[in-house]
Amino acid sequence: MELKRVVVTGLGALTPLGNDVKSYWNGLINGVSGAGPITHFDAEKFKTRFACELKDFNPLDHIDRKEARKMDPYTQYAMVACEEAIKDSGLDLEAIDCDRAGVIWGSGIGGIYTFFHEVMNFSSGDGTPRFNPFFIPKMIADIASGMISMKYGFRGPNFTTVAACASSTNAIIEAYMYIQLGKVDVMITGGSEASVNEAGIGGFNALKALSTRNDSPEAASRPFDQERDGFVLGEGAGTIILEEYEHAVKRGATIYAELVGGGAAADAHHITAPHPEGLGAKLVMKNALRDANLKPEDIDYINVHGTSTPLGDIAEIKAIQDVYGDHAYNMNISSTKSMTGHLLGAAGAVEAIASILAVKEGIIPPTINHSTNDESIDSKLNLTLNKAQKREIKAAMSNTFGFGGHNASVIFKKI
């Protein structure tokens, strides 16, 4: 069968660099760090006392107080980012066929804030089971997609993908395939995460996954740098409106880029560590290129997973060099996690937005905080260090890799 073309017609972002797409993008291209001391709770006794939190965000500016009380922060973030994306898309919700419009969302953890606080309240009491009646609906990882569909009346496919840090990239791929196959016309997709809390910071500290650079948090996320010591936890949401090409053209939509390919693969190696030779990373990039019917030399930019961990950064670079060969030296590579921190299940969505805007605007966001070369990483590669770079981008790839060996990549093309 002939596959449908899929395009991006709306974007929404709620990130540590800004609470909308414009401020997020401006933060990226200006090399702003979103990291700072934790304000959500008293982190004095934690090994890591900083994170990339949202700034000046009040859910009640967007959501009715009664409704907000029914939502974990990760769902609140999702609702806010979706509201911006729907508005940006110009979709007339009265005119489209809502039976052919759906929501596929991604979250690695879901309502960990709610779970932690409900359990803490129970454990500090007299043993009488007093739980919030919304405890379960607030906590479950699929509730954001359900809430989004209820708000906009989308009755098409509706579910959540959970693949750790690859969750929202998998959501984008699933939404893309539903449109490709002609099953729907419009999909809301993306992801959200709200893990900057005692359980999130404490859990990742126990894994020794987080940077402990408490004296200079703004410089802690430093992918590819010799002195990197772990990732910086972030929070927020990213939303992408995907639409069948002819459907978008017919209504006169503004098109940001075309989504032309997606790939998924597994490391089948370790619960948290990447395969040292990047086998899953290589496979997923090859799968995405094959799906897009593109050659390695067609890609101008890769927004890498690049978390700022000692093992992960090297494994990904090895994989890129194996897949792209000599062309690896002609591309731009950058990690926007150097600025946003790691948004876990929302990372794929916010980084896909960065890739889409890079294609549209012809600007590569930088990898900030680089000061010392790692001898294990080829210094001839263009890692877009410390400053944004301008270039025409015909196609960009966005990589996300998650605990459990989950790998997902998507490719956006200029239209």
**Element (H or E) spanning 364, and its range?**
strand 363-364
| HSE, side-chain direction, 13 A CA sphere, residue 139 | 13
One-letter amino acid at 318 equals K
Nearest to 401 by CA among 246, 274, 241, 247: 274
Catalytic residue among 117, 275, 342, 406: 342
- Alpha-carbon torsion (306, 38, 18, 21), positive or negative: positive
Tell me the C-alpha distance between 329 and 97, whole Å. Answer: 46
Tell me the C-alpha distance between 186 and 268, whole Å. Answer: 34
Known active-site residue 247: no
**Element (H or E) spanning 105, and its range?**
strand 101-106
Known active-site residue 327: no
Q: How many CB atoms lie within 10 A of CB 376?
A: 12
Which residue do the tokens 């459990």 mark? 404
Known active-site residue 82: no
Q: How many CB atoms lie within 10 A of CB 42?
A: 10
Tell me the C-alpha distance between 349 and 188, whole Å. Answer: 11
Query: Hey, what's the torsion of the CAs at 63, 65, 66, 72, to 10 degrees?
Result: 70
Catalytic residue among 117, 275, 305, 370: 305
Catalytic residue among 52, 82, 117, 165: 165
134: DSSP letter: T
| Burial call 206-227: b when 16+ CB within 10 Å, e when fewer | eeebbbebeeebbbbbbbbbee
For residue 232, what are the β-bridge partners? none
Give, rounded to a whole angstrom, the gap between the first and last alpha carbons of the chain.
23
Tell me the C-alpha distance between 289 and 305, whole Å. Answer: 17
Return the active site residues: 165, 305, 342
